[in-house]
Chain A
Amino acid sequence: MKVKEIECTANVAWSPAAQHPIYLAAGTAAQQLDATFSTSASLDIFGLDLAECGMEMSKVGSVQSECRFHKLVWGSFGMSADNAAGTLVAGGDNGRVFIYDPNQMMSGGECLLHTLDKHVGAVSALDVNPFQDNLLASGASESEIYIWDLNNPVNPMTPGSKSQPPDDVTCIAWNQQVQHILASTYAGRCIVWDLRKNEPIIKVSDSMSRIKSKLVCWHPDVATQMCLASEDDHSPVIQLWDLRFATSPLKSLESHQRGILSMAWCPHDPDLLLSCGKDNRILCWNPNTAAQNGEVVYELPTANQWSFDVQWCPRNPAVISSCSFDGHISVYSLMGGAAPPKTPSKVADAFPDDPFAQPHHQPLAPTEPAPTMLKRPPKWLRRPVGASFGFGGKLISFENVKQTSPQQAPVQRQLHISQVVTESDLVSRSNQLENALTKGQYAEFCALKISNSTSDAEESVWSFLKVNFESDPRTRFLELLGYNRNELSRKVQSLTTDAPVESNGVDAVQLAEKMASLKTDKSGFLRPPLSGSGPISPRIDRSKTPDSDLASEAGGDVFEKIAAHEKEVERDDEPLPIAVDDDCDGLVAQALLTANFEAAVEVCLHNDRMAEAIILALAGGPELLAQTQKTFFQRNKGNLNRLISSVVTRDYEHIIRTCELENWKEALAVVLTYAKGEDFSTLCTVLGDRLSSAGDEYTNSACLCYICAGSIDRLVECWAKTTNNPNSPDALSDVVEKVMILRKAVEVVRGPNADDVSSVLAQRLSQYAELLASQGCLDTAMNYLGTSNEMSLAILRDRLYQALGQAASHLQQPPVPFETVKVNAKGVAPTVAAARPQQPQQQQQQQRPGAPFQAQAGSTFQTTTTPSSTYYAPASQQSFPGNMAATSTYSQPSMFTPQAPQYPTSSQPAAVSQPQIYDPSAMRSQMTPGAPSAGMPAHNNQPTSMPNTLPKGNHPCFHSNPSSLSQKPTQSYMTPTPITQPIYGVPQPNMAQPPVGQLGQVAPQQPPADQGPPGAPSYSSANIYNPQEFQQPAPQKQYAHKPEPPKPVEKGPIPAEHQVLKDILDNLVQQCLTKAANAQTKRKLDDVLRKLESLYDKLRGNSLSPTVTSGLHQIIGAIQKFDYHSGLSIHTQMISQGNFSEISSFMPGIKMLIQTAITLQVYVQ
């Protein structure tokens, strides 16, 4: 689906992946002119705003240019700086490379950072190293390739000497896995460079010469794979190569009808490769399928003319760009979306109920959907991991374990169901509470809470709760409030003894004072006089505790004393004159005489004689008393009197409603003492309400009142106010614990309570239950739901019941809290009924057979067996006139001879006794191109043990363990320093060496394959791109080890004492040659001669140790005695004892010579 379009003929470059937002740079294309023949050129930057629906892209920066462009690249160099957008590099028609700062370009500043004027022809190849974004490779005509350091792009390096013949460099590409490998294409050939070596390491070309590779791109993940594309109309193919098997391409992607102009491998999914060609098509391939001619997974619907460029947007994997010769830059989405709506069968739609149309779905099924989208979903659409929550704190997580080996093992899929417990405190507290509740250990639970409480308030609350489960809770409440009867009686006693009543009358003030000293304690100071009116506080069984008895006695004492005093006064007045005057006394007396207490009291009251009035009222009956008390309190409005008034009139509510809040304890005490059952909780609640509405400082007190009242709902409401975060699990635990305990207490006192919980409490309990449920405590959660019909609880109950399954079978199934809707399947024929109950799978991890295309992921070519040198033998015969001397700077060319058969000797000295392995002629025949390799099959069988000696792991060569190649670069590739050194510094031999440990193991034992000097016959036929020839630098290395100068052309004489060796051996060879019957033996003997030449050279150079020379003389002695077997055993002894590297170049030759002599029955003296 085309999403954006720009009208211009230009080469483009996407902003790098790290850049947000996404930009597209477009530089006027040099390849063509438009109808105006204008040659002006500019470089523009466009913004890609996918949020905008239109096709336009806004131009956000532009600069005029002196020339037109062949190639643009936009690298991330410099992006680490603030607000930087990387570096834009443009290859000009005039041979210049322009380096721009895109940020400056967009802000209109001076954006041209550098102009690199080094190339001769048009610069049409550019690439930025994916590992070191400061490294820019550029290619132009005359085979010129330069590597620039963008930090200081002044003196470029070359990756090696120029490829000959000089041709235009059409494409260069850095390897995506190994940072120092660079591929380049010239007209028709592709050369891969190793920058550490500063030399070309392989030339890729099809021996059938079917394609002229114009373009190259590397596999995003597999280091050794690349695609080459041909512009040639006669062979418009893309070839996939693996450099490990560089004799022929792995496959050819053939679908284009005309030459391919551009190609791009998706950086996000190696299964997607784009190409466009002169046939106007833009194809997307999967180069990794088994299909030999390549599988086209998508063809872009494009109406434009030839596209000469396609590119993936590095940041947005579904977006690609194409540039066409008809003057358009198009941005497409690969995700489809523009397909015309499907119109299946209009007839069938028109008659949906037509019974004859029943099977219509069947013919529709097999029709292949038009490829309006990728055949298979791209990698970036395939969600590999996920985690989702289920009811009850279950977490379902799945992952698709990445392949750890290139073997095609099925992807491991794992799915886990886990219980997430984030509130472990809540869960443990809940368990504690459950335990207490089921065992009925309420008081113990409270005691535990008291001992664990961190605040006074908390402690007092739990103390109050605990009291509920003790005997005589009211008394204990009072004690908790600070009113202990024992203490009170003590105080009263001390008061009465210290200040005995002496006055002759009992006046109200005195009485009041005494009452005041009693404070609000009930202790019966009014009780005896009121005994006739029944117990005021029936809920307090005074007889039960000694304390209360004492207290009441003490209280009684006081009164008795008062009364006694009164009587005393009266009795002392003997004889008793009864006044009958009309004054006060007289009137009272008269009234008394007629038992008219009302009148007497009235008179007393009138004369303000309160004490007499009350005493008289006592005698006059409860009504009178009450009336008198009322009058008394009306006249005496002191605070104490109000209290007394309330108590006496049982108007406790008055106290509760009017008391100072700081005296809440006293008020509560009054209620505790006097209030009757039905009033008690109401009064406590009223007090609690006052307190809780008074503000934060009283909320805890209010809670205590509610606890006394057993008022659960209010407690919850009040608690909600005191708690900062009432929804926190801790707070919920707090309140639920209290509520549950209080509930039990209320049950104890009042019996089971079937009251519905209020909505406030229901909400809390629901929250608590939800929390418990979310932690997986499903059964406990169920217990907290009660029977409320509250919607939220009903929903939870239903869920818990269903989730518990059998565990909840003892419970009655709760009603389903929602109306069910029957969903019908009308109009759709039941196509699938796939429920096939199978054997239960109990395992936690479900593994299923891999999806078909999963199994295909990765290259089938990674399953290599033991490497064989035959892979390399038929490499291109074309000689490469590069200077071989360049290799001498690398002391470790052995990197490119991984399976050279010389190695086994190092790890298996015992194997030396097996002659055929080391038969030099066999080796030669194997290694020489075109030589029949069947001559010594034993050789091929042996190398199985060789890989043991090969450097593995971080070895920076292509031939190391194949499995490491498909993986991300190991750290040795990531370390940025090495690559620059061959470029900017003197080449350091050790840079190319494998780790020291491996080097030490391998290098000294390396036998020189050939002792011949450069220019010797073995070199003359050398093709440096034939990997087998890379063994040849070995002797040079040996020269380096022994500081012997390169050999002069004229060889010096062999020391006289050793001349006999040469004479005898040469003689023997000549004798053998004359008797040799077949060509193979002759070739062997040629090889023997070559090896012997190595010996003679060493003899000339006096480089052999005395042990070796004496051993050689012994062998010669044995030969002269025709005792070849002794000679061979001396030979064996020498090899097992001697310095192998010293003698390995010629000893196989001697052995082969002796064996040949045995076979041919040749003898010399």
Chain B
Amino acid sequence: MIHDAQMDYYGTRLATCSSDRSVRIFDVRNGQQTFTAELKGHEGPVWQVCWGHPMFGNLLATCSYDRKVIIWKETNGTWNNIYEYTNHDSSVNSVSWAPHEFGLMLACGSSDGCISIISSSGDGAWESKKINNAHTIGCNAVSWSPSIQPGALLDQSGNQKIVRRLVSGGCDNLVKIWKEDDGQWMEEQKLEAHHDWIRDVAWAPSIGLPRSIIASCSQDCQVIIWSNDGTSSTWNPKVLHKFNDVVWSVSWSVTGNILAVSGGDNKVSLWKETLEGDWVCVSNVNKGQGYSKDAHDPNS
């Protein structure tokens, strides 16, 4: 059973992970698909993969039911396990690399309820910070804020002052926003609107507007779009849609204007905000049968 599939920064490689404990890398350049490597090291189903930014080389982070997070690095075609983070007491359900402006930094969410933020300067030593009891019974998803944040302060040299934030969702039905303050991670917001487990959260890439957007999806079959106007601290929820089945994942397009929603009924739908601020479904993706009007499967 495949649990995640992600393309790298350039869209040239694909990593998948599976219940069979394996992580596989495919070259998908130019519409071809070539299996290039299998990464073995996890001792349980692998839940998620996340590609690092290329400035750090070819890095892949994976997390598994075996409570481990493994960071893999490819050098000259060979993948090596360069770091294993084993400081979680239960299944690690989600990994996410921070925007590269934040540095080499990885967030991990676990069923033990904690979120770990591990970082390194690249010298091989990794430092970890842990948010304990972030979500009772478990954290299911983590996602970083974009590095270019609306309304962020500029420092003397005119550069934006880096404020690191991340969003998480868990089995306590809550979406939480965390902010790094003086090296410590503090809960900044607690967003309540879902009635069941949060399955995925995704902080939208900045599209140049002064607002921040987070999408969350849940066992309660709903997707909620949370928006913050950039001046106040309130996040307004808007129910994107109530689906017929559990919604398992939400993913923003690279440009941040399309949201792909994937549900337990095996349907993938694409959503977009209209000028009036309403969210509309622009396409239902019928996998394997070509795509409806606006999306097509190039290989079908």
Chain A interface residues toward B at CB < 8 A: 1, 3, 20, 50-53, 315-316, 318-319, 333, 335-339, 341-342, 369, 372-373, 376-377, 381-401, 411, 413-422, 424, 724-725, 727-728, 770-771, 773-774, 799, 802-803, 805-807, 816, 818-828, 830-846, 848-854
Kindly identify which residue among A53, A386, A411, A818 contacts B55, using a CB–CB cutoff of 8 Å. A818
The residue on A at minimum CB distance from B11 is A391
The residue on B at minimum CB distance from A849 is B20
The residue on B at minimum CB distance from A844 is B299
Q: Does B210 contact A (CB under 8 A)?
A: no
Q: What are 6 A-B pairs at a CB distance below 8 A? A: A387-B262, A393-B253, A771-B255, A822-B122, A823-B59, A832-B40
**Across chains A and B, which 3 residue pairs bring their CB atoms closest together, nearest first?**
A826-B124, A390-B7, A825-B82
Residue from A377, A725, A851 having most chain B Cβ neighbours under 10 A: A377
Expressed in whole angstroms, the Cα–Cα distance for A848 and B17 within the complex equals 12
Kindly identify which residue among A337, A391, A807, A844 contacts B33, using a CB–CB cutoff of 8 Å. A844
CB-defined contacts of B36 to chain A, threshold 8 Å = 835, 837
The residue on B at minimum CB distance from A826 is B124
Kindly identify which residue among B12, B266, B268 contacts A401, using a CB–CB cutoff of 8 Å. B266
Stretch at the interface among B149-157, B224-232, B282-290: B282-290
The residue on A at minimum CB distance from B4 is A386
Excluding A397-B5, A821-B56, 12 further A-B contacts by CB distance (< 8 Å) are A20-B220, A418-B295, A420-B258, A420-B260, A799-B11, A802-B10, A816-B55, A820-B54, A823-B104, A830-B80, A846-B33, A854-B19
- Report the minimum CB–CB distance from A582 to chain B (whole Å): 76
CB-defined contacts of A799 to chain B, threshold 8 Å = 9-11
- Report the minimum CB–CB distance from A380 to chain B (whole Å): 8
Binary contact track B261-288/A, C-beta < 8 Å → 1, others 0: 1111010101010010000001101011
- Report the minimum CB–CB distance from A806 to chain B (whole Å): 7
What's the interface size class on B, roughly?
Answer: 35 or more
The residue on A at minimum CB distance from B65 is A377
When the two chains form their complex, are residues A377 and B45 in contact, meaning their CB atoms are under 8 A apart? yes
- Report the minimum CB–CB distance from A370 to chain B (whole Å): 11
When the two chains form their complex, are residues B11 and A397 in contact, meaning their CB atoms are under 8 A apart? no
Beta-carbon contacts under 8 Å, B77-111 to A: 77-84, 86-87, 89-91, 93, 100, 104, 110-111
When the two chains form their complex, are residues B16 and A319 in contact, meaning their CB atoms are under 8 A apart? no
When the two chains form their complex, are residues A389 and B3 in contact, meaning their CB atoms are under 8 A apart? no
When the two chains form their complex, are residues A422 and B283 in contact, meaning their CB atoms are under 8 A apart? yes
- Report the minimum CB–CB distance from B120 to chain A (whole Å): 7
- Report the minimum CB–CB distance from B6 to chain A (whole Å): 6
Binary contact track B172-202/A, C-beta < 8 Å → 1, others 0: 1110000000000000001000011101000
Residue from A3, A52, A420, A421 having most chain B Cβ neighbours under 10 A: A420
- Report the minimum CB–CB distance from A429 to chain B (whole Å): 15
Q: Does B34 contact A (CB under 8 A)?
A: yes
CB-defined contacts of A834 to chain B, threshold 8 Å = 37-41, 79
Q: Does B238 contact A (CB under 8 A)?
A: no
- Report the minimum CB–CB distance from B25 to chain A (whole Å): 8
The residue on A at minimum CB distance from B30 is A805
When the two chains form their complex, are residues B80 and A422 in contact, meaning their CB atoms are under 8 A apart? no
CB-defined contacts of A728 to chain B, threshold 8 Å = 275
Expressed in whole angstroms, the Cα–Cα distance for A206 and B199 within the complex equals 44
CB-defined contacts of B173 to chain A, threshold 8 Å = 50-51
Expressed in whole angstroms, the Cα–Cα distance for A807 and B19 within the complex equals 36
From known contacts A337-B90, A382-B45, A385-B266, infer whether A415 and B258 are also in contact, taking CB-CB under 8 Å.
Answer: no
When the two chains form their complex, are residues B78 and A826 in contact, meaning their CB atoms are under 8 A apart? no
When the two chains form their complex, are residues A387 and B285 in contact, meaning their CB atoms are under 8 A apart? yes
When the two chains form their complex, are residues B6 and A390 in contact, meaning their CB atoms are under 8 A apart? yes
When the two chains form their complex, are residues B112 and A336 in contact, meaning their CB atoms are under 8 A apart? yes
From known contacts A771-B255, A805-B29, infer whether A388 and B5 are also in contact, taking CB-CB under 8 Å.
Answer: yes
- Report the minimum CB–CB distance from B37 to chain A (whole Å): 4
Kindly identify which residue among B249, B254, B283 contacts A383, using a CB–CB cutoff of 8 Å. B249
When the two chains form their complex, are residues B79 and A316 in contact, meaning their CB atoms are under 8 A apart? no
CB-defined contacts of A318 to chain B, threshold 8 Å = 111, 137-138, 171
When the two chains form their complex, are residues B1 and A400 in contact, meaning their CB atoms are under 8 A apart? yes
CB-defined contacts of B233 to chain A, threshold 8 Å = none
When the two chains form their complex, are residues B100 and A373 in contact, meaning their CB atoms are under 8 A apart? no
CB-defined contacts of A419 to chain B, threshold 8 Å = 295-298
When the two chains form their complex, are residues A394 and B11 in contact, meaning their CB atoms are under 8 A apart? yes
When the two chains form their complex, are residues A3 and B80 in contact, meaning their CB atoms are under 8 A apart? no
CB-defined contacts of A20 to chain B, threshold 8 Å = 195-196, 220
- Report the minimum CB–CB distance from A94 to chain B (whole Å): 38
- Report the minimum CB–CB distance from B88 to chain A (whole Å): 9
Expressed in whole angstroms, the Cα–Cα distance for A448 and B300 within the complex equals 34
When the two chains form their complex, are residues B287 and A388 in contact, meaning their CB atoms are under 8 A apart? no
When the two chains form their complex, are residues B122 and A390 in contact, meaning their CB atoms are under 8 A apart? no
The residue on A at minimum CB distance from B293 is A424
From known contacts A390-B11, A397-B287, A421-B295, infer whether A383 and B16 are also in contact, taking CB-CB under 8 Å.
Answer: no
Expressed in whole angstroms, the Cα–Cα distance for A338 and B288 within the complex equals 43
When the two chains form their complex, are residues B297 and A830 in contact, meaning their CB atoms are under 8 A apart? no
From known contacts A381-B111, A825-B83, infer whether A388 and B65 are also in contact, taking CB-CB under 8 Å.
Answer: no
When the two chains form their complex, are residues B73 and A826 in contact, meaning their CB atoms are under 8 A apart? no
Expressed in whole angstroms, the Cα–Cα distance for A728 and B120 within the complex equals 40
Expressed in whole angstroms, the Cα–Cα distance for A388 and B78 within the complex equals 26
Expressed in whole angstroms, the Cα–Cα distance for A838 and B275 within the complex equals 49
When the two chains form their complex, are residues B2 and A415 in contact, meaning their CB atoms are under 8 A apart? yes
Kindly identify which residue among A341, A385, A770, A824 contacts B82, using a CB–CB cutoff of 8 Å. A824
Expressed in whole angstroms, the Cα–Cα distance for A836 and B22 within the complex equals 13
When the two chains form their complex, are residues B41 and A831 in contact, meaning their CB atoms are under 8 A apart? yes
- Report the minimum CB–CB distance from B156 to chain A (whole Å): 19
When the two chains form their complex, are residues B254 and A833 in contact, meaning their CB atoms are under 8 A apart? no
The residue on A at minimum CB distance from B148 is A792
When the two chains form their complex, are residues B16 and A415 in contact, meaning their CB atoms are under 8 A apart? yes
The residue on A at minimum CB distance from B133 is A53
Expressed in whole angstroms, the Cα–Cα distance for A376 and B112 within the complex equals 16
CB-defined contacts of B235 to chain A, threshold 8 Å = none
Q: Does B158 contact A (CB under 8 A)?
A: no
- Report the minimum CB–CB distance from A1128 to chain B (whole Å): 62
When the two chains form their complex, are residues B91 and A381 in contact, meaning their CB atoms are under 8 A apart? yes
From known contacts A396-B6, A824-B123, infer whether A832 and B55 are also in contact, taking CB-CB under 8 Å.
Answer: no
The residue on A at minimum CB distance from B93 is A381
The residue on A at minimum CB distance from B37 is A835
Residue from B33, B74, B248, B275 having most chain A Cβ neighbours under 10 A: B33
When the two chains form their complex, are residues A50 and B171 in contact, meaning their CB atoms are under 8 A apart? yes
Kindly identify which residue among A398, A818, A822, A850 contacts B16, using a CB–CB cutoff of 8 Å. A398
CB-defined contacts of A393 to chain B, threshold 8 Å = 253-254
CB-defined contacts of B282 to chain A, threshold 8 Å = 422
When the two chains form their complex, are residues B81 and A832 in contact, meaning their CB atoms are under 8 A apart? yes
CB-defined contacts of A770 to chain B, threshold 8 Å = 255
- Report the minimum CB–CB distance from B92 to chain A (whole Å): 11
From known contacts A337-B113, A841-B33, infer whether A848 and B18 are also in contact, taking CB-CB under 8 Å.
Answer: yes
From known contacts A387-B262, A387-B285, A820-B57, infer whether A316 and B83 are also in contact, taking CB-CB under 8 Å.
Answer: no
Expressed in whole angstroms, the Cα–Cα distance for A383 and B39 within the complex equals 20
The residue on A at minimum CB distance from B195 is A20
CB-defined contacts of A339 to chain B, threshold 8 Å = 89-90
The residue on A at minimum CB distance from B202 is A388
The residue on A at minimum CB distance from B41 is A832
CB-defined contacts of B121 to chain A, threshold 8 Å = 821
Kindly identify which residue among B19, B28, B37, B59 contacts A851, using a CB–CB cutoff of 8 Å. B19
